[in-house]
Amino acid sequence: MGLPGKAWWSGFALAVIGGLTVEVLKGFPALRFVGSGLAPALRWLRADAGLSRWAVMLLTLALLYLAVGAARRWLGQSNLPPWLGYQQDRFLGADWRWEYTGRQIHLGSLTPYCPQCRVQMVYVNSSVYRVNVRTTLLCQDCGYKVEHNGEPSDIIGLVARHIERSARDMIALGQESEAAPE
């Protein structure tokens, strides 16, 4: 399963350092001049309550640290560029849908759909003797078809370039605030 995430180890280290600091500081009588609040707090941490209170504080600090880290990661996801929500459009006579991996288009997710009945289309080789390679996007439900030059991979590459250009156009028109994929 692997080691826990970095945030867990960082939180644990912080909690251990905090606990050791408290243990070391409560042994110094010179701390009494700091004020009347520190000595009672140190006595409270030192007192037994089934489980040492300093251990409870240590665990509380560790959990607080982990919660803050998780909240930062969760809130940081809302800072993703809005163009990542752009996941469908019409190109080359078909409706296309796709997903992103990170900030790049996941080419394996590019899928054509029939603009008439919204059913996923299939690729059909419409070449004759492989002289002029042609691919037809065919809707097996309603029979709608559109033919293009090239292999299915050529069509997917062309559609990906159309998507990237459309995303850049959105940014140029001020509709989005962050850079689109290149």
Query: Highest mean pLDDT: which of 10-24, 45-59, 120-134?
Result: 120-134
Query: What pLDDT band is residue 149 in, cutting at 50, 70 and 90?
Result: confident
| Integer CA distances (angstroms), 116 to 69, 133, 137, 146, 180, in order | 47, 26, 13, 12, 30
Model confidence over 82-101: pLDDT tens digits?
677 788 889 888 999 988 88
Question: Sorting pLDDT into bands at 50, 70 and 90, what band is 182?
Answer: very low
The number of beta carbons lying within 10 Å of the beta carbon of residue 18 is 16
pTM of the predicted structure, to 2 decimals? 0.51
